Structure 1
């Protein structure tokens, strides 16, 4: 995604001064940012009390909406009781309870959890844990990873190395680890051949993965890394049926681990607590984040399977990794309370029902639009891909910044909606999409409003774009 200067028509009265006058090292140094002062329910409220409906939960983070007093009280209570824990010496009841809750949520498929503060940290831990697993079982030659093109697994150097997001990688390529190779993503919209069935497509991609194992030496591979539903890099693209069973078989054939990145698509976002539940497989290592704590605290984590944990327990019994703020008590308290609410209020059933409604209404409104070529996703995790030419699926030039301009237009008074931009869905550089991922407890009326507003936003944007050409 390429950030561009925010259009000043967004509203000078609710924007802070240009970033040039700010002490913050913002994402973009000459952008004018809106000043959000509070958030309530599904709304982000700006300095002049103007409200914007948060239809993306930030970056698919908000799962309960904003201002939930139960979560805020749980965090407050924990901060007053024990705000910090030096995990080299101590643990806390809240960390133990959260990790037990997460392990139990897998029906015994996973063995232990590790709590950190961001998805990038979780992926760094996953990469290092995979490497250490093979040291523990005396296979030190395994140093390679295989991931997929047009993937995103985090912004730190290790996580960026295993990802395939070209724009985010470009400036840092000389610093990234070189023992990662990539295969094709499972993107039926752009990847399936004419007349090819889902089963044939999955078999072809599994064969490509098998051939990549053979090319780099199967005895050298630590793990295959993938998102069950590709978020930021492709815009909510789920795999075809049978794909993950096929790649699980390839990993098992060569003794490699399967790492599933569920930072964006997991913890209920796709309709089940863990996205892999819908694929009929279990990963060896899983990363989680975003909807884990719903944005109430910075929190993410890793779940490790029995195969990995048993190797450590029988070997060194030490995971050579650590953070000052891992297992942070306040973050654990937020996540534990968010997950309790999701479970006790049966919100995953609402995710599935409202997801079905959202997808059907968006397709009714936008499927025939000449610049909308695919609407895809699961649960309350939906992407819309835009094209310049629907007949040949040609993308807009990356310098047009279509996805960002649509999102910026949505922030104006006329629409008052927040959706999430993404680019590179065609080749890692070109290709525009937006993500719609509202709170799990959203109502039918709100879903109808989101679909209608997004439809109006997209139609108006492209009508204005056509008028200026």
Structure 2
């Protein structure tokens, strides 16, 4: 179906389909075709499924009361902050609301800088990121991002943030010949801090489980405890980007809980509102909050829709739904089954290099040669071909973004369903995926 569009779409060459409606974990297009959504809306957003009546009721009720609060706070904002702080790791007690993930990471970066200004260390301003990471499209968040292809066109505009080695066991260049991880990637964070000068470094930012830049990359169990030690040694704040991995997706409230590590700041988005309304947040420790409160008393930073009562009412309803229906536990149980099923079905396929992830965040890397880990030529677009073939078979997966291998080459894609997925739906997904990988493999190998 050709659409006469005046929308300045992201992709101006390939026409998007037109969605009609969605319910539960299924989506219908305008032509009446039904798809099983194993991509959580394509951007790994949908946490609780589509069309949940209690969320719609909460939206409607709040819209009738007030949808924008101007210079006021609101009960939905205050209550969501309390309950989100309870949901977060102990000690992260104060919340700043924004409209999405890029804004959340931009806010976290600026708050880290502001904290050191308030505590008498104004020289600390730099942020260290990691290669194979993605933190958002605003210029500060993109400066911290270590995804080469996303940075490329805007490089002259970016801040001079440095990047440490990623905890990418499959393609590790630091301990690839060892039988086990040596945590050299964590030690590289210390090297970056020393290179920049600890007196200049405000924060280190990392995704506990990587999303768009290398879908499903999971760090060694010792990685974040070591990073925490390094950050404490040099008085550097630890920001964990949980925009994609947080709010229960990995089978814990936040993915960082798998490492038993307390960060100073958590950025979240996507699953916090399950796509019902734009919402993101930064969760900060009491120490950071107190430094600002007892200092200038101001964090002069904000966005028009930050703390919007309608979005916060939605977020509150979503969080309560997650807890009421024990969806974090379901994400853990069914997510384990998902990753094991994918591994069993295609793990030995000649072009599958790695299956990794936690919970409802499964990443698959495909390669031209398993022995050498040689990636496919980018022109082949193998990850996108697999996603398109799955869609033809009635299942939506996340094609992710190329460049995970060396910054320019490399194909990973994700199976990232809503937390409400069942084992039967996993089986349906894996069946389509197996056929898609087989079909595309015959075309490109």
TM-score scaled by length of structure 1: 0.92
Q: Offset at 1:289?
A: 0.7
Q: Offset at 1:384?
A: 0.5
Cα distance in 1 for partners of 2:186, 2:440 equals: 40
Q: Which residue of 1 aligns with 2:398?
A: 420
Distance 1:303 1:353, change over 3 A: same
Cα distance in 1 for partners of 2:133, 2:441 equals: 28
Q: Verify the 8 A CA contact 1:225 1:261 in the aligned structure 2.
A: yes
Q: Which residue of 2 aligns with 1:184?
A: 165
Q: Offset at 1:320?
A: 1.0
Q: Offset at 1:424?
A: 1.3
Match of 1:122 among 95, 98, 104: 104
1:384 aligns with 2:364: yes
CA RMSD of aligned residues (A): 1.1
Q: Offset at 1:464?
A: 3.0
Moved over 4 A (4+): none
Q: Offset at 1:409?
A: 2.1
Cα distance in 2 for partners of 1:395, 1:388 equals: 5
Q: Offset at 1:163?
A: 0.4
- In structure 1, the gaps of 5 or more residues are 1-14
Query: What aligned pairs does 1:12-31 form with structure 2 within 5 A after superposition?
Result: 15-17=1-3, 21-31=4-14
Cα distance in 1 for partners of 2:154, 2:443 equals: 36
Q: Which residue of 2 aligns with 1:99?
A: 81
Q: Which residue of 1 aligns with 2:133?
A: 151
Cα distance in 2 for partners of 1:110, 1:182 equals: 26
Q: Verify the 8 A CA contact 2:399 2:413 in the aligned structure 1.
A: yes
Query: What aligned pairs does 1:50-199 form with structure 2 within 5 A after superposition?
Result: 50-58=33-41, 59-86=43-70, 89-106=71-88, 108-178=90-160, 180-191=161-172, 192-198=175-181
Select between 239-248 and 303-312 the one with higher mean Cα deviation: 303-312
Other structure's SS at 1:304 match: strand
1:244 aligns with 2:241: no
Q: Offset at 1:277?
A: 1.1
1:305 aligns with 2:285: yes
1:49 aligns with 2:29: no
Match of 1:33 among 4, 8, 16: 16
Q: Verify the 8 A CA contact 2:167 2:186 in the aligned structure 1.
A: no
Cα distance in 2 for partners of 1:185, 1:330 equals: 38
- In structure 2, the gaps of 5 or more residues are none
Other structure's SS at 1:442 match: coil
Cα distance in 1 for partners of 2:335, 2:303 equals: 37
Query: What aligned pairs does 1:278-297 form with structure 2 within 5 A after superposition?
Result: 278-297=258-277
Cα distance in 2 for partners of 1:100, 1:208 equals: 36
Q: Offset at 1:419?
A: 0.7
Q: Offset at 1:189?
A: 1.3
Q: Verify the 8 A CA contact 1:16 1:33 in the aligned structure 2.
A: no
Q: Which residue of 2 aligns with 1:6?
A: none
Q: Verify the 8 A CA contact 1:233 1:428 in the aligned structure 2.
A: no
1:343 aligns with 2:323: yes
Cα distance in 1 for partners of 2:210, 2:315 equals: 23
Q: Which residue of 2 aligns with 1:458?
A: 437
Q: Deviations over 1:134-189 (max 9, x none)?
A: 000011111211110111000111110110111111111111112x0011000111
Q: Offset at 1:207?
A: 2.3
Q: Offset at 1:107?
A: 5.3
Cα distance in 2 for partners of 1:101, 1:441 equals: 21
Cα distance in 2 for partners of 1:139, 1:70 equals: 47
